[in-house]
Amino acid sequence: MTGTKPVELKLAYPIDYQGATIATLKLRRPKGRDMRFLPDGSSSVEKMFPFFALLAGVEEGVLDEMDAADLTRLGAVVTDFLSDSQKAAGRR
């Protein structure tokens, strides 16, 4: 389980976005209100961008500039958050 502290994702390929270099993203665990941003019935990465951006506290444009390898790692962190939630629900 990932705990409640934000997870820091160090980008293998830092980006420049609106004049700033972004080398890390801090991802927080989703709350109930965040789950409204999960797309229905699709696991395409593009449809997950609003959810990813919300948890990272960045604009979706940041994700547009990220390397595919870093996006894949971001998706793995979020998947871990969600699988932790499902495991916790199963223990009740």
In the chain, how many domains are there? 1
- Residue 32 forms part of a structural domain: no
Which domain covers residue 84, as residue numbers?
7-26+42-90
- Residue 2 forms part of a structural domain: no
Lookup result for tokens 């270099």: 21
- Residue 1 forms part of a structural domain: no
pLDDT reported for residue 43: 65
Helix 45-56 crosses helix 68-90 at what angle (to 10 degrees)?
80
pLDDT reported for residue 56: 97
Give the dihedral of Cα atoms 46, 50, 53, 54; nearest 10 deg.
Answer: -150
Beta-carbon-side half-sphere exposure of residue 83 (alpha carbons within 13 Å): 8
Whole-model pTM?
Answer: 0.82
Q: pLDDT per residue over 9-62, tens digit each?
A: 999 999 999 999 999 999 999 999 998 888 876 667 788 999 999 999 999 999
Lookup result for tokens 């390929």: 13
pLDDT reported for residue 1: 45
- Residue 36 forms part of a structural domain: no
